[in-house]
């Protein structure tokens, strides 16, 4: 007899083409995680039969609700499919890889803040709201991430922040790149999740089917690893000692885990850095699709799982600096919010909420010898320019 250990428990996933149906010959992806709480909650009812001997005649199975979550440490490329499913996006847009030819890409500083090209098709694949990574300019301050705020044509785009200087590289060094982006949508997606106990007496699996990504969260704290949670709700679950016919295993990514010290960069508030470097003490982003279970006679588990209203909320604690911070709350002004996650080799994500409003703003002197913190919550709203509430851009280093 062997008792199962958490250290020998593997977690795997495969996207389903049909809700609740594991694909034929599935390619299971090994999932990086730090803990999980995936369970099939079983409901029962005691029989109400009246017996002269006062005993309960039976306990009857009445329902099951597969759901749960797993915790993770953020790393590049490890959860791109789950982020896509959490946003209910139709998929990551095609990567942008614009390579200059001699003298054809220029930065234009104030007052126009443009990138221009001598070719009217150069920026055809770049869209308003996208983040782009610009490189190859002699002025190192021109080489950075920009957000596209307007597109005049395929040869001219307006960006923020302002390029540092006007420059046209003479050679072919200028580049404009991204790894694609996703925005929130309406496409329901689902997974078969497999929790495998490798050191049980016989290798045993707990298989969850039709698992929709109910949402995710990221938690950023000072002097800590950047952590998060993915939540799920699904159709059915069962234990098994069998593998799937023709299954293969794709090993988990090996990209490095991000921290909240050097890997959380450039927290932007309406395109400008949010206070001085280090001004934010903690930050939590939470997305909730508000999925609900649908029940039906003759079916154990769920006959459907459908999303409700998308909610994207941020809780932040930052050092209080000025009245301007509070004015935005008191005047109910909207603002854009974004932050960059970049690992030590250069892989990066940009998380953007293009239009937000504060729900709360509190600045208290809580005790002696302490800092006054602005403790805030704000929520994402539909942005008419990008027609989204949340956007994620990715930038592989290669």
What does the DSSP assignment read for 196-217?
A: EETTSSS-EEEEEEEEEEEEEE
d(CA 140, CA 335): 29
Q: Which residues of the chain have pLDDT under 70?
A: 1, 271-278, 398
Name the token pair of 92: 């990551």
Q: Provide the pLDDT for residue 239.
A: 95
Closest CA to 176 of 249, 245, 119, 237: 119
Q: Is 100 helix (H, G, I), strand (E, B) or coil?
A: coil
Sole residue written with tokens 């709350």: 329
**Phi and psi angles of residue 85, each rounded to the nearest 5 degrees, phi first:** -70, -35
Measured CA to CA, the distance from residue 211 to residue 235 in angstroms comes to 7
Q: Would you state the pLDDT for residue 119? A: 87
Distance CA 255, CA 257 (A): 7
CB 226 within 8 A of CB 260: yes
pTM above 0.85, yes or no: yes
Cα–Cα dist 377/360, whole Å:
5
Considering the segment(s) 96-178 as one domain, its CATH architecture is Beta Barrel (2.40)
Q: Write the Ramachandran bin of 386: left for phi over 0, alpha for psi from -120 to 50, otherwise beta.
A: alpha
Residues of the chain with CATH 2.40.30.20: 96-178
CA–CA separation, 49 and 256 (whole Å): 60
According to the model, what pLDDT value does residue 276 have? 56
| Residue 383 to residue 324: CA distance in whole angstroms | 23
The two structure tokens encoding residue 20: 């609740």
Q: What is the 3 state secondary structure string of 360-385?
A: EEEEECCCCCCCCEEEEEEEECCECC
Q: What is the pLDDT of residue 278?
A: 64
Q: For residue 24, what pLDDT is reported?
A: 97
Whole-Å CA distances, 333 to 161, 281, 314, 357: 21, 23, 16, 6
- Residue 168 CA to residue 365 CA, distance in Å, equals 51
Query: Cβ(294)–Cβ(337) under 8 Å?
Result: no
- Residue 392 is predicted with a pLDDT of 97
What CA dihedral angle connects 357, 216, 73 and 238, to 10 degrees? Answer: 170
- The residues near 153 (Cβ < 8 Å, ≥ 6 apart) are 120
Distance (Å, whole) CA 100 – CA 88: 35
Cβ contacts of 38 within 8 Å, gap of 6 or more: 66, 67, 68, 69, 70, 193, 195, 206, 208, 232
- The answer to whether the beta carbons of residues 328 and 358 sit under 8 Å apart is yes
């Amino acid at each position: 007899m062997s008792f199962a250990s958490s250290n020998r428990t593997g977690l795997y996933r495969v996207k389903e083409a049909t809700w609740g149906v594991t694909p034929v010959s599935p390619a299971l992806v090994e999932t990086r995680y730090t803990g999980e709480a995936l369970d099939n909650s079983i409901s029962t009812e005691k029989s109400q039969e009246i017996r002269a001997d006062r005993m309960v005649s039976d306990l009857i199975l009445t329902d099951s609700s597969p759901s749960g979550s797993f915790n993770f440490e953020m790393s590049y490329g490890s959860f791109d499919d789950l982020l896509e499913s959490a946003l209910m996006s139709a998929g990551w847009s095609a990567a942008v890889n614009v390579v200059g030819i001699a003298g054809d890409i220029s930065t234009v500083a104030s007052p126009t803040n443009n990138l221009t090209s001598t070719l009217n098709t150069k920026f055809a694949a770049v869209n308003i709201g996208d983040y782009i990574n610009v490189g190859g300019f002699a002025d190192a301050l021109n080489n950075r991430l920009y957000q596209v705020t307007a597109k005049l044509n395929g040869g001219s785009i307006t960006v923020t922040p302002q390029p540092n200087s006007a420059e046209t590289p003479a050679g072919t060094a200028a580049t404009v790149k991204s790894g694609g982006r996703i925005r929130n949508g309406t496409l329901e997606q689902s997974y078969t999740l497999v929790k495998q106990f490798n050191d049980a007496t016989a290798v045993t699996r707990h298989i969850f089917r039709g698992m929709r990504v109910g949402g995710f969260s990221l938690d950023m704290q000072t002097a800590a690893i950047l952590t998060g949670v993915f939540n799920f709700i699904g159709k059915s679950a069962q234990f098994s000692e069998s593998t799937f016919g023709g299954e293969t295993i794709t090993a988990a990514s090996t990209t490095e885990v991000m921290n909240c010290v050097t890997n959380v960069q450039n927290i932007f508030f309406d395109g400008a850095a949010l206070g001085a470097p280090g001004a934010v003490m903690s930050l939590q982003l939470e997305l909730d699709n508000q999925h609900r279970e649908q029940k039906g006679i003759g079916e154990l588990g769920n006959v459907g799982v459908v999303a409700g209203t998308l909610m994207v909320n941020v809780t932040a604690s930052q050092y209080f600096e000025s009245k301007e911070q509070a004015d935005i709350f008191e005047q109910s002004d909207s603002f854009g919010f974004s932050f960059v996650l970049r690992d030590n080799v250069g892989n990066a994500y940009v998380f953007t909420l293009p239009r937000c409003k504060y729900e709360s703003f509190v600045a208290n002197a809580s005790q002696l010898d302490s800092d006054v913190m602005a403790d805030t919550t704000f929520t994402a709203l539909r942005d008419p320019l990008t027609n989204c509430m949340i956007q994620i851009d990715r930038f592989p280093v290669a």
